[in-house]
Structure 1
Amino acid sequence: MSTTPIDPRTMSRRRQILETYKMSREVDPAITWWMLGAALISGGLGFALFYFVLPGEGIFKNILTGIGTFLLALLGLMIVFGRRAQKAAFNRLDGQLGAGARALTMLRRGWIVEEVVGFTKQQDMVHRVVGPPGIVLVGEGNANRVKPLLVSETKKHERVLGDYPVSTIMVGTDEGQVPLDKLTKSLTKMKRAVKPAEITEIRQRLRALDAARPKVPLPRGPVPTSMKGNRGQLRGR
Structure 2
Amino acid sequence: MARKKSSTDAGVTGAAPAPKKKRWYHNLVEAYRMTRQVKPAIGWMMLGAAVGVMVLAIAIGLWVGHPIYLGLFGLTVAVLVAMSILAFHARRAGYAQIEGRPGAVGAVLGQIKRGWDIEQEPVAINPRTQDLVYRLVGRPGIVLISEGPPHRVQRMLKDEERKVSRVAPNVTVHRLQCGREEGQIPLPRLENRLRKLPRVLTNAEVTQVAKRLRALGAARMPIPKGVDPMRARPDRKGMRGR
- The two structures have a TM-score, normalised by structure 1, of 0.78
Q: Among residues 117, 124, 141, which one is paired with 1:118 in the alignment?
A: 124
> What is the Cα deviation at residue 111 of structure 1?
1.2
Distance 2:226 2:27 in 1: 21
Distance 1:207 1:74 in 2: 44
Q: Where does the alignment leave 5 or more consecutive residues of structure 1 unmatched? A: 1-5, 56-60, 222-237
1:38 counterpart letter in structure 2: A
Greater CA drift, 129-138 or 28-37: 28-37
Identity among equivalent positions (%) equals 37
CA 1:113–1:15 in 2, change beyond 3 Å: closer, same or farther? farther
Per the alignment, residue 202 of structure 1 pairs with: 209
2:133 counterpart letter in structure 1: V
The reply on whether 1:28 has 2:36 as its aligned counterpart is no
CA 1:11–1:213 in 2, change beyond 3 Å: closer, same or farther? farther
The reply on whether 1:38 has 2:49 as its aligned counterpart is yes
Q: Secondary structure at the match of 1:136?
A: strand
Alpha carbons 1:46, 1:73 under 8 Å: kept = no
Alpha carbons 1:50, 1:69 under 8 Å: kept = no
- Relative contact order higher in (CA < 8 Å, ≥ 6 apart): 1
Alpha carbons 2:50, 2:82 under 8 Å: kept = yes
Per the alignment, residue 232 of structure 1 pairs with: none
Q: Among residues 65, 73, 76, which one is paired with 1:68 in the alignment?
A: 73
Q: Among residues 156, 161, 164, which one is paired with 2:163 in the alignment?
A: 156
Larger radius of gyration: 2
The reply on whether 1:77 has 2:82 as its aligned counterpart is yes
Distance 1:161 1:74 in 2: 48
Distance 2:212 2:150 in 1: 28
Alpha carbons 2:161, 2:173 under 8 Å: kept = yes
Matches within 5 A, 1:122-133: 122-133=129-140
Distance 1:165 1:100 in 2: 21
> What is the Cα deviation at residue 194 of structure 1?
0.7
Q: Where does the alignment leave 5 or more consecutive residues of structure 2 unmatched? A: 1-18, 229-242
Q: Secondary structure at the match of 1:125?
A: strand
Distance 2:218 2:67 in 1: 66
> What is the Cα deviation at residue 147 of structure 1?
0.7
Aligned length: 207
1:81 counterpart letter in structure 2: L
1:94 counterpart letter in structure 2: E
The reply on whether 1:91 has 2:96 as its aligned counterpart is yes
Distance 1:129 1:12 in 2: 35
CA 1:219–1:172 in 2, change beyond 3 Å: closer, same or farther? farther
> What is the Cα deviation at residue 16 of structure 1?
4.6
